[in-house]
Structure 1
Amino acid sequence: MRPRVFGIARPSLARDEIVCLNAGMASSPTRFALSLPVLASIAAALLFGASTPLAKALLSSLGPFTLAGLLYLDGAVGALPFAFRGGSAELRRDPRQRRLLGFAVIFGGGVAPVLLLLGLRTSPAASVSLWLNTEVVATALLAWTLFRENLDRRTILAGGLVLAGGIILAAPEGAAGWKAGAHVAGACVCWGIDNNLTALVSGFTPAQTTLAKGLIAGTVNLVLGLSLGQHLPGAARVGGALGVGAISYGCSIMLYIFGAQHLGATRSQLLFATAPFLGVILAWTLFQERIQPAQLAAIPCIVAGLYFMLTARHEHEHAHEAMAHTHSHRHDDGHHTHVHPGLPSWVRHTHAHEHEPLTHSHPHVPDLHHRHQH
């Protein structure tokens, strides 16, 4: 699922560089139910889940640094056509926004994929796919300890169930592959940092953030791989890596960023926890890995965790300070009261805008507008 992008040619909107995303689909940021950000997070999970077994096949002829570089560079190519519109030049010059994006690039685009591929090189694709559930727990703990996100009992229970499902799924491996498991766990921690930082980035559209991650991290990893003697194989293998990068990294990252900015890092990451399922299925079919009964037994845990996450409700009186930022939004959510003549309130669009101070009470999630203390 790739978000459709429409340019709105209205004289009154020209300075705002409006970009409408899925204008015909409604979503509400005040209720965490089936909505455009939820669908985007699920689509991101499906695309990324496919990358694990596909990357396993590519590792037979590509080193981990070289493969990580190719995957992320082509992820940047996939985001390039959508990166020239929207965003805020003024906010992009903000040192804080640059630091947030810079650290997200380092941890999420540079370190994490290399650690994942190091683990994948010595462990079955199904096992690595299942260990990736650790990212949910890492994201939630980091969001709670470092980024002030609220964790209610239902969300904690959801995270615990997802983690339990991952443990049950990985149980057939026993004590084998501790080194590979450590690599994957390290990758999950790095992606947890990236997830929380990305949810705070303002002034950059999802496509621009994806382009920065892919271009910078991809180039650095490719240069490191070549300098370490990891040579490029034939055109077919390189083309395969580029194809996986465009779909499973480029499209997936853009969709995840869109979801995280509207749902918060923890909730979007819990949805992203569905990614291992597709990875396991492909590992079973492509690599003929044996299906373990314990893996099937873990499915109810994951499903229950997603249910508790989707039905979580958080509501209280809270205050919004004056602020300026850029992100996708609508004008029927109680937060965006500025007016665009001729633009329906339900149309989702992206541009730089300002907020006046506001105090009110409504159900909400820790998105860009709700980072308050509890």
Structure 2
Amino acid sequence: MSVRSAAPALAAALLFGASTPLAKTLTGEISSILLAGLLYLGSGLGLAAVLLVRRLTSKPGEAVPFAPAIPRREIPWLLGAILAGGVAGPALLMTGLTQTGAASASLLLNVEGVFTALIAWIVFKENADRQIVLGMVAIVAGGVLLSWQPDAASLSPSALLIVAACACWAIDNNLTHNVSSNDAVLIACLKGLVAGVCNTGFALVAGSRLPEVVSLASAMLIGFAGYGVSLTLFVIALRHLGTARTGAYFSVAPLFGVVIALLIWPEIPGALFWIAAALMALGVWLHLRERHEHEHVHEPMEHTHTHRHDEHHQHEHDFPWDGKQPHVHAHRHEALLHKHPHYPDIHHRHTH
């Protein structure tokens, strides 16, 4: 696997990891539940603005640089992802946080990556060799060490709610993979709007009040970059890498968050930080050196996504196209038997 292939997932992790220390600067002015809601709202509204601008600037008759409406047959997958990750996950997390310490919560959040990979491997039969599994173990172990504190080992009923939230987000990740061929900005926008409305609603019902304009704008701007752009890149990574590999790369987000926090509040990191960083680097390296190649069959299928004309895309068009730029339209794949290096992307979901 090349660094270029992993770049969207790692960039998503970097942006999401950066949002944590940046959002922390606002915690004294905004309650945690309301802050979560505003971050999600900033994500959804910011991406909605991107969609609007993109629509207004597209020229009539050209192949637009984004996908049309999500196909009806895929809407149940998207609704399931939104309900699991945008409604149930935040609600369970916020309820669990009321009686769970920050150290325990940080430690428990590492199980999202584990659940994501297990569901991908067991339920959706996504391929994973020994190297990928070991890489996932190394990254998760690094995350555990990064968040480890002496009082972080308790597992109370409230802590189980946080584990349940992680399970919801893992389900969300796997269901989103099934719609990842569609417009990533649209998918991330819908998820951000739903999660934003839910979390903000929870906060307002609980008695929180909206902050001043500067803090409100700051929270939504952080949300747009750290949640909106990050989630868009995450969906793109799902499209090209599959769920387990994308989830593994995204699990390094806490490391990026700690590094940025150290830049904002300088201090010398302890030994656990360096061990965690080494484990995560080892895990990423194991994933990057993967080479999965064998003869495989592509069954006939029809879908819509951004593509160039390569060995998987050879078809005619009924619209102007210069043969160079990536473009989007519904297209059909005929049956194909060949051999080349590949990952469990939207074209390679075969059994082994």
Q: If the length of structure 2 is used for normalisation, what is the TM-score?
A: 0.84
Give the whole-Å Cα distance in 1 for the aligned partners of 2:7 and 2:218.
27
**1:26-66 alpha-carbon deviations (Å, 9 max, x no partner):** xxxxxx2122x422211111110012223334333333442
Indicate the residue corresponding to 1:102 in structure 2: 79
Indicate the residue corresponding to 1:262 in structure 2: 240
The answer as to whether partners of 1:129 and 1:280 remain within 8 angstroms in 2 is: no
After superposition, the Cα gap between the structure-2 partners of 1:160 and 1:231, relative to the gap in structure 1 and judged at 3 Å, is same
**1:238-279 alpha-carbon deviations (Å, 9 max, x no partner):** 122111111101111111111111111111222212211121
Give the whole-Å Cα distance in 2 for the aligned partners of 1:344 and 1:290.
53
Indicate the residue corresponding to 2:3 in structure 1: 34
**Which residue identity lines up with residue 343 of structure 1 in the other structure?**
D
Indicate the residue corresponding to 1:4 in structure 2: none
After superposition, the Cα gap between the structure-2 partners of 1:191 and 1:287, relative to the gap in structure 1 and judged at 3 Å, is farther
Alignment counterpart, residue 218 of structure 1, candidates 196, 201, 218: 196
Indicate the residue corresponding to 1:3 in structure 2: none
Whether 1:327 aligns to 2:305 is yes
The answer as to whether partners of 1:110 and 1:218 remain within 8 angstroms in 2 is: no
Q: Please give the secondary structure, in 1, of the residue aligned with 2:148.
A: helix
Alignment counterpart, residue 336 of structure 1, candidates 295, 303, 313: 313
**Which residue identity lines up with residue 117 of structure 2 in the other structure?**
A
Alignment counterpart, residue 152 of structure 1, candidates 117, 121, 129: 129
Give the whole-Å Cα distance in 2 for the aligned partners of 1:185 and 1:290.
31
- In the TM superposition, residue 205 of structure 1 has moved relative to its aligned partner by 0.1
Indicate the residue corresponding to 1:26 in structure 2: none
Query: 221-230 or 110-119, which moves further after superposition?
Result: 110-119
Q: 1:1-374 counterparts in 2 under 5 A?
A: 32-35=1-4, 37-83=5-51, 84=55, 86-89=66-69, 92-94=70-72, 96-113=73-90, 123=101, 132-175=109-152, 178=155, 182=160, 184-201=162-179, 204-286=182-264, 291-332=269-310, 334-339=311-316, 343-344=322-323, 347-374=325-352
Give the whole-Å Cα distance in 2 for the aligned partners of 1:281 and 1:117.
26
The answer as to whether partners of 1:48 and 1:252 remain within 8 angstroms in 2 is: yes
Give the whole-Å Cα distance in 1 for the aligned partners of 2:226 and 2:138.
26
**Which residue identity lines up with residue 247 of structure 1 in the other structure?**
A
Any unmatched runs of 5+ in structure 1? 1-31
Question: When the two structures are aligned, how many residues end up with a matched partner?
Answer: 336
**Which residue identity lines up with residue 17 of structure 2 in the other structure?**
G
The answer as to whether partners of 1:56 and 1:120 remain within 8 angstroms in 2 is: no
Among all aligned residue pairs of Structure 1 and Structure 2, give the percentage whose two residues are the same amino acid.
42
The answer as to whether partners of 1:88 and 1:203 remain within 8 angstroms in 2 is: no
Q: Please give the secondary structure, in 2, of the residue aligned with 1:366.
A: coil
**Which residue identity lines up with residue 34 of structure 1 in the other structure?**
V
After superposition, the Cα gap between the structure-2 partners of 1:186 and 1:51, relative to the gap in structure 1 and judged at 3 Å, is farther
After superposition, the Cα gap between the structure-2 partners of 1:281 and 1:187, relative to the gap in structure 1 and judged at 3 Å, is farther
Indicate the residue corresponding to 2:60 in structure 1: none
Give the whole-Å Cα distance in 1 for the aligned partners of 2:127 and 2:199.
35
**Which residue identity lines up with residue 75 of structure 1 in the other structure?**
S
Any unmatched runs of 5+ in structure 2? 56-63
**Which residue identity lines up with residue 68 of structure 2 in the other structure?**
S
- In the TM superposition, residue 129 of structure 1 has moved relative to its aligned partner by 6.0
The answer as to whether partners of 2:181 and 2:239 remain within 8 angstroms in 1 is: no
Q: Please give the secondary structure, in 2, of the residue aligned with 1:58.
A: coil
Give the whole-Å Cα distance in 2 for the aligned partners of 1:230 and 1:33.
46
After superposition, the Cα gap between the structure-2 partners of 1:285 and 1:342, relative to the gap in structure 1 and judged at 3 Å, is closer
The answer as to whether partners of 1:112 and 1:188 remain within 8 angstroms in 2 is: yes
Give the whole-Å Cα distance in 1 for the aligned partners of 2:213 and 2:165.
28
Q: Please give the secondary structure, in 2, of the residue aligned with 1:313.
A: coil
- In the TM superposition, residue 328 of structure 1 has moved relative to its aligned partner by 2.1
**1:138-190 alpha-carbon deviations (Å, 9 max, x no partner):** 21111011111011111111111112212332334444675686555444322
